[in-house]
Structure 1
């Protein structure tokens, strides 16, 4: 049944879903029009909000570009390539390949969302060289695991409200992760998704006659570990110096050990990028091999560079015009104490299409959802996780977070979003039931 349902979904998306850049342009116009229509904002005011906020994600844009580049360089080191190749030898069928890629992506995303995006996409590339399998579904499986990130160890909303002095601490205090990430209802949702996501991806596997098999030559990478000619000039000797690479790379890894073991630090986006970069420096062994890998990795970053400023402008319109708050308040107005986590989930899923940032979304919705939870007598931790899961859920429809995956895989959004649309429905039901019944 799922295979039959996926066919029209794939055809629909392939026909009508535009390039992610066109998508962000349309979202800009929709957000601006809605702010003028429902918030009585003037065109001049909207234009100023949009323009002033256009560069608000520059730091984050650079972080995301580095997720792509450093993750690719790390995975392109000889030891990691051998490890991924051995893991890719485990499945003996196309169905097994889909299930394994899904599980690897789910696990990596639960640990850290940036880690999951890169590892899932790179593993899908390696797997495609071993098994004849529909490449679109293979990459969609790698991306679909991303749905668990906000219920995992790096979930920004549960980690925020567990931090002393967070911006809503005067209203709700500090809520420990035992009430959010490690609560029964959240763990139940995570376990259910670990079962359902690989199963649904496997059941969507097209027949051999309908599968899109990628040309393996297209996935071939430059062998950056190949032995280069013996360096003659001093500059060449420096470029090919293992000693120079290790004199810088090993202290970087020692810093990470200090961060995790002695200072008790956790994973965040900067630490993930730092980890990828310095592991790549050490494992590539020479600066020359690292730079060759960098040149290969950077080609896929164009979409991130051009699109993220437009999303920053959309976020500014949604937040500063009051549109995001009005949407949240409407859902609150129809909720009860028992249903507020569900409506928080739905409203967050809609807001996420325009504000694809967990931290930014919580800043918008917390001032609405927390007073409502207190007034209705709803569990605040439950409501907060409703917002968190809503933020993660509609990433299956929003191509913003798929850009690094698509860049690594060499596909377009329309190639994978038809399969993700089926996952959107299935995972939405699972998460909604978990938030409502548990």
Structure 2
């Protein structure tokens, strides 16, 4: 039944969803128009906001590019390839492959969002090398696990409000993760999604005659070509000693980092991927061959992320994001504020696809409203977090690394993501409102 229900969405998206770059250009113009119409700013004032924010995500853009590149390099090593292939061999049928990749992506994303994006996509490719399975749904399933990230261990909003000196401390104090990440209502949502998302993905699997398959040879990451040494400099390029000295130095830092109780974040994930890749590729030349393959998929990240930073600049500086939040808050009661916070956060996330940035915009509106209405502040904060994660199923911003690794376009997976958007939205709303 879900397969039949998803087909119109898949066809609709395939026909009308443009390339993500066109999508971000359209969003840019929509943000311009909204800031002028609803906030009363002049054209040049809006353009100035846009230009001033355009490069605000440079550091983050580099991090995301490295998520793609270092993850690809690590996955192309013989050891990791063998591990992924052995794990993939647990699935014997297309349906089992869909469920397994979803479950692995959910676990990895709950631990750390960057880790989840890379692991899900790479594991999906390993499965596709072994099983004939509808490839667009397989990649959509790998990406769908990302929905739990903001309710997990690396959720930026619950971690921010649990940190001494956060910008809202004078208003709400310090709220520990026992009231947010590990609260009953949040864990119930996570458990429900761990059950429902793999089930929905499995039920959307089309019949064999309607499936799209990919040649396993295309998915091979053959970076370790035969090396021929013809000049002295190439001895250094193929030196195991040089690679291992630097690689194990990086590994020593990682061990020390976790001994000192360092937490998982995007930088340490990239650091681990990079230095494990250096060690496991054994020589600088093999690593560089893998790098040359990896960077081919990073073009979307390089060109699109600055445009999203510009949109965020318009949304925040013009007051448009705060106005959207305030409009939803005006409809709320103490009991319904988490629901309206969730919906407003989902809408704002389409224009401001950054959890931390979104909280900075919405907290000054949501927190006073929660205090005035007597609503649960931890629940409202998590509602904003879940809203941010929810519409990532619609927003191609976060799918770019997954699509680059998989070799697909956004239109190939977004039809399935739209079906998940509806179903997961109902589940999260129930958890935030009534549990």
CA distance, structure 1, for counterparts of residue 258 and residue 355 of structure 2: 24
Task: Determine if the alignment matches structure 1 residue 432 to structure 2 residue 395.
Answer: no
CA distance, structure 2, for counterparts of residue 174 and residue 50 of structure 1: 33
Deviations 1:83-124 (A, max 9, x none): 000011111100000000001110111111011111111111
Aligned to 2:249: 251
CA distance, structure 1, for counterparts of residue 127 and residue 179 of structure 2: 38
CA distance, structure 2, for counterparts of residue 321 and residue 37 of structure 1: 11
Alignment of 1:20-419 (within 5 A): 20-224=20-224, 228-229=227-228, 231=229, 233-261=231-259, 263-419=260-416
CA distance, structure 1, for counterparts of residue 323 and residue 226 of structure 2: 61
CA distance, structure 2, for counterparts of residue 154 and residue 190 of structure 1: 14
Aligned to 1:17: 17
CA distance, structure 2, for counterparts of residue 234 and residue 70 of structure 1: 28
1:51 shift after superposition: 1.1
CA distance, structure 1, for counterparts of residue 216 and residue 256 of structure 2: 42
CA distance, structure 1, for counterparts of residue 131 and residue 215 of structure 2: 12
1:232 shift after superposition: 5.1
CA distance, structure 2, for counterparts of residue 186 and residue 325 of structure 1: 25
Kindly tell me the number of residue pairs found equivalent between the two proteins: 435
1:223 shift after superposition: 4.2
Match of 1:5, SS state, is: helix
The question of whether the paired residues in 1 share the 8 Å contact of 2:223 and 2:293 is answered with no
CA distance, structure 2, for counterparts of residue 175 and residue 242 of structure 1: 49
Taking only aligned residues, the RMSD between alpha carbons, in angstroms, comes to 0.9
CA distance, structure 1, for counterparts of residue 424 and residue 327 of structure 2: 24
Match of 2:40, SS state, is: coil
CA distance, structure 2, for counterparts of residue 376 and residue 9 of structure 1: 39
1:220 shift after superposition: 2.2
1:234 shift after superposition: 2.8
CA distance, structure 2, for counterparts of residue 141 and residue 40 of structure 1: 42
Match of 1:411, SS state, is: coil
Cα distance, 1:223–1:58 mapped onto 2, change above 3 Å:
closer
CA distance, structure 2, for counterparts of residue 89 and residue 176 of structure 1: 41
1:236 shift after superposition: 1.2
CA distance, structure 2, for counterparts of residue 81 and residue 216 of structure 1: 14
1:76 shift after superposition: 1.1
1:233 shift after superposition: 3.2
1:221 shift after superposition: 2.1
Match of 1:209, SS state, is: helix
The structure 1 segments of at least 4 consecutive aligned residues displaced by more than 4 Å after TM superposition are none
Deviations 1:153-193 (A, max 9, x none): 11000000010000111111110001100110111100100
CA distance, structure 1, for counterparts of residue 181 and residue 364 of structure 2: 21
Match of 2:213, SS state, is: coil
1:227 shift after superposition: 5.0
1:251 shift after superposition: 1.1
User: Structure 1: which 5+ runs fail to align?
Assistant: none
CA distance, structure 2, for counterparts of residue 403 and residue 421 of structure 1: 17
